[in-house]
Amino acid sequence: MAQKIIGMLGGMSWKSSAEYYRLVNEGVRDRLGGLHSARCLMWSFDFDDIAVLQREDRWDEAADLMVEAAPRLERGGADFLIICTNTMHKAYDRMRAAVDLPLLHIADPTAARIKAAGHQRVGLLGTAFTMEQDFYKGRLADLHGLDVIVPDAADRATVHRIIYDELVQGKVDAASRDAYRAVIGRLVAAGAEAIILGCTEIMLLVGPEDSPVPLYDTTGLHAAAAVELALG
């Protein structure tokens, strides 16, 4: 079977990008068997460059870096692109305009799986940018018709801090897992029928056993959708 080449914009952080690489290769192996693996290219950023721009609200400059990187993958032979992070989907529209390749949005396979399971009201965990700005929540609501709720301000600060101070650095702490469990519990009490792990590192910390409602891991769902597109 001829595979399409997956172009991956990664390094945001490298911990989650390593998971993407593992998942797409395992997905192709599971579909095709034998010694098969994914045909893919990855452009990996120095995440500190991106994180500084995020922190200083310099989103146009962060998007510039994404837009500069995407054609590198196109010239390298990629057939379609994925952004291996939720937060930098803020640059999605600019990237679509910068290259002629399909760009698989991380929210779309997530929303499709949630709707197939019959859920309507969902809780969203992620960076403060993803939870508070409209580029992600808006797509889930406007394009897919989901009712999205987020934690309160104190819980958003906790979720965000653990992502940047711990998870992107490979630290997995039991106390932080307990904190996430408590945040999830409050979202469920507010009516969430499912929880979106809307940061590609969160799945390093929590799993199905940490939630009374289904968890939807955007990393795994995005990687699976990329495999499906690659194999046609």
Catalytically active residues are 85, 199
Which residue in the block uniquely carries the two structure tokens 């290259």?
99
Instruction: Return d(Cα 109, Cα 221) in angstroms, integer.
Output: 6
Q: At what angle do helices 218-231 and 107-116 cross, to 10 degrees?
A: 100
Token pair of 185, please?
Answer: 């519990």
Residue environment code for 119-156, b if the CB has 16+ CB neighbours within 10 A, otherwise e: beebbbbbbbbbbeeebbbebbeeeeebebebbeeebb
Show contacts of 102-105: CB within 8 Å, 24+ apart. Answer: 102/229, 104/80, 104/222, 104/225, 104/226, 104/229, 105/139
Instruction: Return d(Cα 184, Cα 195) in angstroms, integer.
Output: 7
Contact indicator for 150, 157 with CB cutoff of 8 Å: no
